[in-house]
Amino acid sequence: MQQLHVIVARFYPLSCGISQETTCSFETQLMEVNMLTVHERRAEITALASNQGHASVAELAERFSVTPETIRRDLKYLESSGLVHRVHGGAVTNHTLRSDEQPFWVSEKSHSAEKKAIAQAAMPFIPTQSGSIVIDAGTSTAAVALLMADSYRGQRWTIVTNSLPVGIVLSTAGIPGVNLLGGTMRAYTQAVVGEQAVATLKSLRADVAIMGTNALSVHHGLSTPDPSEAAIKREMISSANKVVVLCDSSKFEQDYLVTFADLSDIDVVITDAHASEHFLSTLRNNDIQVVIS
């Protein structure tokens, strides 16, 4: 297990830290804004541009207590990564790149308060004593894993996941029935993908699937940028008796490259209080239970 911890540290340098402590926060809690690492600052910049639509050099320099030149270097790097588009005096979010995706270290910073609340609202759908659970990769599902680890009191759970962070958090809590799918791990999302993982899922049945998504729309259902992850998600949903989707409202009425589920495949959507009531009514009219966190 110690050797595995070393490997995880290489793949997941910005995690909250894998140790015997299962109550660590999912996000890195920072004492001072000006003590952010370069990666953390760039993650914050990307999240700000995404949430606000625009971020100015002057605003960012003041916020992070760094020079404007440092911010310009950050924006140049983020533009080269496809995360923002530089404009005069700052940067705007890259709305047009719907096939692009955020790295795990960026995604965990975005809408973090909503994700924590959504994870808490998902806990009643976890079997209380025993049951089989499929857990998708993603930052929202990882937040659920942390709560499951904290609440573990000997429940007889059988858990299947394609998420390295989820697998480590749950196994470190002492849960014996944690199964990590085999295959190729994507560095961006810490998700295992590939034919081996798909084949394994085809033979499984689960009581509940806890799913993440990049987008949810009425016409195209659930979608994600990467075809290999879509294939895994599709099989997870097919394997489960109940499908619970964790989706903050910023992802509503959006579409990404690959659809992996229709509205008819979804049993429950858990979201935040900022969601449009019109959109939520549409979900309910499609026989989906809506839970507001």
DSSP labels, 216-255: EETTTEEEES-HHHHHHHHHHHHHEEEEEEE--GGGBT--
- The CATH number assigned to the domain holding 82 equals 1.10.10.10
Is residue 8 a part of any domain in this protein? no
Segment 204-220, tens digit of pLDDT = 999 999 999 999 999 88
**Residues 120 and 215 placed together within one structural domain of the fold:** yes
Contact 275, 148 (CB under 8 A): no
The neighbour count for residue 201, using CB atoms within 10 Å, is 22
Q: Of 91, 108, 102, which Cα lies nearest the Cα of 53? A: 91
- The CATH number assigned to the domain holding 250 equals 3.40.50.1360
Is residue 20 a part of any domain in this protein? no
DSSP assignment, residue 182?
P
Is residue 17 a part of any domain in this protein? no
pLDDT in tens, the chain (293 residues): 333 333 333 333 333 333 333 333 333 333 334 457 888 788 788 877 766 667 899 999 999 999 999 999 999 988 887 778 888 889 877 654 344 455 545 555 555 778 899 999 999 999 999 999 999 999 999 999 999 999 999 999 999 999 999 999 999 999 999 999 999 999 889 999 999 999 999 999 999 999 999 999 998 899 998 889 999 999 999 999 999 999 999 889 888 888 999 999 999 999 999 888 999 999 999 999 999 99
**Residues 285 and 255 placed together within one structural domain of the fold:** yes
d(CA 98, CA 10): 29
Is residue 77 a part of any domain in this protein? yes
Segment 144-196, tens digit of pLDDT = 999 999 999 999 999 999 999 999 999 999 999 999 999 999 988 999 999 99
Cα of first residue to Cα of last residue in the chain, in angstroms, is 36
pTM: 0.67
**Residues 72 and 116 placed together within one structural domain of the fold:** no
- In the prediction, which pLDDT does 32 show? 39
**Residues 112 and 219 placed together within one structural domain of the fold:** yes
Strand (E) or helix (H) holding 258: strand 258-261
Is residue 211 a part of any domain in this protein? yes
User: Domains in the chain: how many in total?
Assistant: 2
DSSP assignment, residue 33?
G
For residue 2, the SS3 value is helix
Is residue 110 a part of any domain in this protein? yes
**Residues 60 and 159 placed together within one structural domain of the fold:** no
The neighbour count for residue 215, using CB atoms within 10 Å, is 21
Is residue 149 a part of any domain in this protein? yes
**Residues 60 and 111 placed together within one structural domain of the fold:** no
Structural domain of 71: 38-93
Is residue 22 a part of any domain in this protein? no
Q: Of 276, 204, 214, which Cα lies nearest the Cα of 241? A: 204
**Residues 73 and 156 placed together within one structural domain of the fold:** no
**Residues 115 and 241 placed together within one structural domain of the fold:** yes
Strand (E) or helix (H) holding 48: helix 38-52
How far are the Cα atoms of 17, 111, 126, 262, 275 from residue 196, in angstroms, in the given order? 29, 33, 26, 24, 37
From 93, 119, 135, give the residue that closes a domain. 93
**Residues 82 and 126 placed together within one structural domain of the fold:** no
- In the prediction, which pLDDT does 114 show? 83
**Residues 84 and 160 placed together within one structural domain of the fold:** no
d(CA 278, CA 284): 10
Q: Of 86, 85, 93, 96, which Cα lies nearest the Cα of 53? A: 93
- In the prediction, which pLDDT does 55 show? 86
**Residues 276 and 168 placed together within one structural domain of the fold:** yes
- In the prediction, which pLDDT does 24 show? 39
Both tokens of residue 216? 């949810």
Residue matched to tokens 């699937």 = 209
For residue 178, the SS3 value is strand
- In the prediction, which pLDDT does 84 show? 80
- In the prediction, which pLDDT does 140 show? 94
**Residues 145 and 74 placed together within one structural domain of the fold:** no
How far are the Cα atoms of 70, 204, 206, 219 from residue 143, in angstroms, in the given order? 32, 24, 20, 28
How far are the Cα atoms of 18, 27, 49, 102, 253 from residue 21, in angstroms, in the given order? 8, 14, 34, 28, 38
